[in-house]
Amino acid sequence: MDTTLQDPLVGQLLDGRYRIDARIAVGGMATVYRAVDTRLDRVLALKVMHPALATDAAFVERFIREAKSVARLAHPNVVAVFDQGAQGAYVYLAMEYVAGCTLRDVLRERGALQPRAALDILEPVLAALGAAHRAGFVHRDMKPENVLIGDDGRVKVADFGLVRAVGTVTDTTGSLLGTVSYLAPEQIEHGTADTRADVYACGVVLYEMLTGGKPHTGETAAQVIYQHLNEDVPAPSRAVPGLADGLDELVAGATARNPEARPHDAVALLARSREVRAGLTEEQLDAMPPQAIAETHDAADDRTSVIPRVIPAGQGTAHHTSRLEMPPLPPRAGGRRPSVAGSRRGIFAALVALLLVLGVGAGVWYINSGQFTRVPSLLGQTQTAAEKRLADAGLDVGGVKRSYSDTVDRGRVISSDPGSGERIRGNDAVKLVISRGPEIVQVPDVEGIALADARRELKKVGLVPGMVTREFSEEIARGEVIRTDPAVGTDRHPDSAVALVISKGSPVDVPDVTGLDIEAARAALEEAGLRTEVLPDRVNSVEAEGTVARQTPGDDTEAAEGDTVELTVSKGPRMLDVPDVTGKNVDEARSKLEEAGFEVKVDRAFLSFSDTIASQSVDGGEQAPEGSTITIKTKGL
């Protein structure tokens, strides 16, 4: 079963504006959809908070804070936020849609990256975080899932949902939000998250890009937390021999457990990264990582989640004093033995984490978890990898369906039922939806068929009939398709618009029928293949009453056979007062008569050299039809 189709928001119009087309990803606090802003006709990403969290004022506040924070950044390497709003239980952010993949997708597909590629990704990430840091914000949830890599190669940082002002701390006695693999020690122990916490997370991400695996792993979140607090991030060259010393130093500086030893913000780390790059040879930058690096995926998944914060000894409340034996941690090659104080602090952190994860007592664990398991992370996995993950979790594959996807590569998981992270009984099955890749359709051959039929053919293959224009054609009959734009046979994604050019038929010269009576005009136009429409309102004109005063279109133009020519009937000319021009010279008399609306003819007396008007054909003060000719005569000898 396709869980994307089951999603109640897919296909809906949110807030009267955003048409939700497909689900892209599901996170711990929100789901991201591909949508269309119907007002501006643009594709965007819609991040919708899980309805169960919408009643929590703190979570809603984080959403609103994300919108406001990112709106202030306006940086080319930050995913832009366009709008924020709510409809009922759905609180959303409208964001820039980046067609491409996440850094996590790249790491799953390729494993370790060449140093040049790793730095090419790291540096725009640091530029984006640097802008946030200098604007007074801390991201607090940097990880490969929040680094987007566009099809055009652009790198952008997403998900500022946990952003905080510099210097702000989390709940100092409870828990904090984050992703356990990327939390800085001070976040776990003290709840502080300044710019150096983002620097630490970037150092972990860099290690992961260079080696293909995380520096701290374990079967439980507690083991990962213990290592953050008590073990340095190992040098990448221990996992990938041959990496340059400068890369080891860059990772070590960024991930120092003491925040004072790290670069103070992302701008400083960016400067250090560029210095390291400048000191590397071309061979060192292009050093090929191992061809096959097994993906490291520990029990602490990559979702943003609630993480128990370590409370130093003596500061905890009574319910933190329960004793529980710490399970042995897997040995780490070459790791130095932690001090007694460090061990106690790590054990305490692990105890708190284990109490949260396991519940209080075996009976509670069995009731809440023993009969159930959770669907492992499957989105973006190959079918083989997804089936193996399900088998490792003791779950069966309940069926496989294949569906087109513009965002998920062919052969990888689009969705599952139940979805990743959802609870499921241990003996149940999970249905998979596997991508067939983007669906491509060809523009069908609709040339020479009627417009209505062409529209049906386009819709039949999933395309949208677009703008219709018309032009003359000697070959294509009136009303049929001359061509399409894009042309027939062109590959297009479904729902793409196709413009249609429709034939107006062969051009017809429009005859001049002004001055003809209506019947004669109608006959002349019909003989030319044109139709006639006589308009009801009549006008004064120089044409005789009852004849055609004007026509639309006029003569000397072209129309299509069967087009209609509109005729306006004359009610005769207006009668105008004739001015008296006797005694005036010819030029003055002509001007005055023409201004009054008459044509003028000058009749000069025989053998007369006078320029003075002696008489006029219509006396001054009388009336004559508008446009009629007044003859003026000069004085004789």
CA 197 to chain centre: 30
Exposed/middle/buried for residue 60 (C-beta within 10 Å: 0-12, 13-18, 19+): middle
Q: DSSP string of 541-608?
A: -SSPTTBEEEEES-TT-EEETT-EEEEEEB--PPEEEPPP-TTSBHHHHHHHHHHTT-EEEEEPPTT-
Return the ∠ at Cα 215 (arms to 256 and 98), rounded to 5°.
Answer: 95
CB proximity list for 478: less than 8 A, separation 6 or greater: 503, 504, 505, 560, 561, 562
Neighbours of 338 (CB within 10 A): 17
Measured CA to CA, the distance from residue 247 to residue 269 in angstroms comes to 12
The first and second tokens of residue 385, run together, are 């990898």
Residue 124 half-sphere exposure toward CB, CA atoms < 13 A: 21
Contact 66, 93 (CB under 8 A): yes
Contact 94, 44 (CB under 8 A): yes
Q: How far apart are the first and last CA of the chain?
A: 112
Q: Which of 105, 141, 159, 198 is catalytic?
A: 141
Return the ∠ at Cα 26 (arms to 63 and 409), rounded to 5°.
Answer: 130
Measured CA to CA, the distance from residue 517 to residue 570 in angstroms comes to 10
Q: DSSP string of 144-168?
A: GGGEEEETTS-EEE---TT-EETT-
Residue 204 half-sphere exposure toward CB, CA atoms < 13 A: 26
Measured CA to CA, the distance from residue 378 to residue 398 in angstroms comes to 14
Neighbours of 314 (CB within 10 A): 5
Return the ∠ at Cα 571 (arms to 567 and 576), rounded to 5°.
Answer: 130
Has 556 been annotated as catalytic? no
Pairing outcome for strands 575-577 and 623-625: antiparallel
CB proximity list for 560: less than 8 A, separation 6 or greater: 472, 478, 504, 505, 506, 507, 508
Q: 204 by DSSP, 3-state: which?
A: helix
- The number of helices, as runs of H, and strands, as runs of E, in the chain is 17, 33
Contact 84, 69 (CB under 8 A): no
- What are the residue numbers of the active site? 141
